[in-house]
Structure 1
């Protein structure tokens, strides 16, 4: 009986302490999400950077367009400047004046002036130039001015001789290219014609360049069918062409 009473008292005391105990929530409890590797609902999405990227691309495109426009404007202005400069030059009448004309020509304009003045660059002109060079070379007493003049005329003579030879060769190739292109365009059997031209070494870059010009002109004139046909010919020519 005493034992039973003691057990009841002990149990009652224990329960009394249990119910009197208070569980207090921590005051400064901060919940942190360290990592989320699974988000099937798409609640926590990655930052959307597409709009920023599109804006950056647009700005870069506009900048490139402005740069391209500025470059094209510069090219047009340069062409106009050169055209005006060429038209403003007075064509010389004599061989002596023609020598001075070429001495005053800029290096990048020499080829153009040789083409324009080719009929004047004849035997008479080169004899005059050779005569002036002879006087300077065999002069008894030479000044610095004469030495400089001699160097200039020697350089001019070489440039004009090489330039006229190159121009004449180009003109001959152009004439042959026109003839050969007509042969191809009027051929009943293009493949056979090309093979024959390969044997005669008639397929070259001059012919290809002329064909390219005709293709561009055909497209410009809205002759699409003719342009496409010539493009097919171009593809066939590239199989056999030699440099």
Structure 2
């Protein structure tokens, strides 16, 4: 019994440390463990010499903003690349279309051309769209109108040809009106090409109302001609000029 009491007394003998606070040996060890863990993660709050500088705040917000800006830039680049791919596909499709030599073939060519490409093809084929061709188209329409037995296929064909006749007639008139401005447009294009500060020149031309559709038509024709001749650099340069003109032009 005496031995047991002596053992208990040794285990629970109060110790004195620090500022004189008396605790048991087991509690002292527990407190040491807690204090060591707390000390390892404690933040410095007393810095009279300002060695650590002011606390930095808002870093999460900055990271979020930077991430959003990076994401926006990536999306813009993706959109730009997709636009360029669409332009490349459109250009390739235009170059792949072969204009037939016969009047009958030219009619079928326009019937198969998508609506958004008709204006481009009218400009490209303007020299082929003569009075002789329009007379041939009119004869085709008349021959269908006066058929005795008009099937549904004939009716559908007649509707297509009459619609094509209307589109071509209006398109040719619009193109010819633009063609009257081509001489001045050539002078404006030459002025843009020769300018060292093309943006400033374009702004001057905007102020004097010199940017119009005739300028775009001329650029389109020159781009097609340059590509057909294998002059890729010249065509790319004029394509960039066309894009700059579109930023300021009012169609």
> Which TM-score bucket, shorter chain as reference?
0.5 to 0.7
Does residue 155 of structure 2 align to residue 140 of structure 1?
A: no
Aligned partners of 1:218 and 1:227 also within 8 Å: no
Match of 2:106 among 95, 98, 103: 98
Match of 1:64 in 2: 72
**Range that drifts further, 47-56 or 67-76:** 47-56
Within-5 A mapping of 1:20-35: none
Which residue of the other structure, out of 166, 171, 179, is the alignment partner of 2:174?
Answer: 166
Cα distance in 2 for residues equivalent to 1:126 and 1:84: 29
**Conserved? CA contact 1:136–1:150, under 8 Å:** yes
Q: How does 1:67-146 map to 2 (within 5 A)?
A: 67-146=75-154
Aligned equivalents of 2:75, 2:88: Cα separation in 1: 20
Whole-angstrom distance in 1 between the partners of 2:152 and 2:200: 63
Encode CA deviations 1:26-74: one digit per residue, 9 max, x unaligned. Answer: xxxxxxxxxxxxxxxxxxxxx9753222212111111111111111111
User: Structure 1 residues 78, 127: closer, same or farther in 2, change over 3 A?
Assistant: same
In structure 2, relative to structure 1, the CA distance for the partners of 1:233 and 1:163 (3 Å cut) is closer
- Scaled by the length of structure 2, the TM-score of the pair is 0.55
Q: Identify if the C-alpha distance between structure 1 residues 52 and 154 changes in structure 2 by more than 3 Å, giving closer, same or farther.
A: same
Rounded to whole Å, the distance in 2 between the matches of 1:89 and 1:229 is 36
CA shift at 1:161, angstroms?
0.7
1:175 aligns with 2:222: no
Q: Output the CA distance in 2 between the equivalents of 1:125 and 1:89.
A: 20
Rounded to whole Å, the distance in 2 between the matches of 1:139 and 1:96 is: 19
Q: Distance in 1 between matches of 2:57 and 2:82?
A: 37
TM-score (norm 1): 0.57
Map 1:175-214 onto structure 2 (within 5 A): 175-178=183-186, 210=188, 214=191
Structure 1 vs Structure 2 CA RMSD: 2.6
Q: Which runs of 5+ in 2 are unaligned?
A: 1-54, 210-250
